[in-house]
Amino acid sequence: MTEGVGKKMLYLASDHAAFGLKGELEKELDAMGVKYDDLGVHGGGRKADYPEFVGKAASKVSANPKSDRAIVMCGTGMGACIAANKYPHVRAALIYNDGTAALAREHNDANIACFGGREQDGRDVKRWVRIFLQTPFSGDERHVRRIAQIEESERNARR
């Protein structure tokens, strides 16, 4: 997904700690021609709880998990990842190098990438976002089987 056309949508969300990183990513996505919806926070001065903003993005992806994607951020990326993974059909991955950016998509069919505004350099994150958005799911049987097992666990946990 690099065009943001049709049913595909990319959502961005961050707390105050990653507001600057989100701004850097917006410029990169604009340069790539990727359409996105910025769900906040819309100012770096206000203290913001990441579950509120990450939840907005995860809820959107949860409704369209096969087509929509999100990039969510907090200070470390860990809280954002935990919060996003509470939503049905969301597979959020904490990305921290080129390999995890690619494997999150290839092996896990991740639909949300998580980053840490205080822990990660904007140049690296921009590269990882490109990799994440441009890498398809491999569709290999072992990965399909494992994702099905995760989804079954999710269904069982919600009963």
| Alpha carbon of residue 16 to chain centroid | 17
Q: Show the tokens assigned to 129.
A: 């976002």
Q: Show the tokens assigned to 63.
A: 């409704």
Catalytic residue list: 74, 107
Sequence-distant (6+) residues with CB within 8 A of 44 are 16, 19, 20
Q: In what order do the strands lie in the sheet with 10-14?
A: 37-38, 10-14, 69-74, 112-116, 92-94
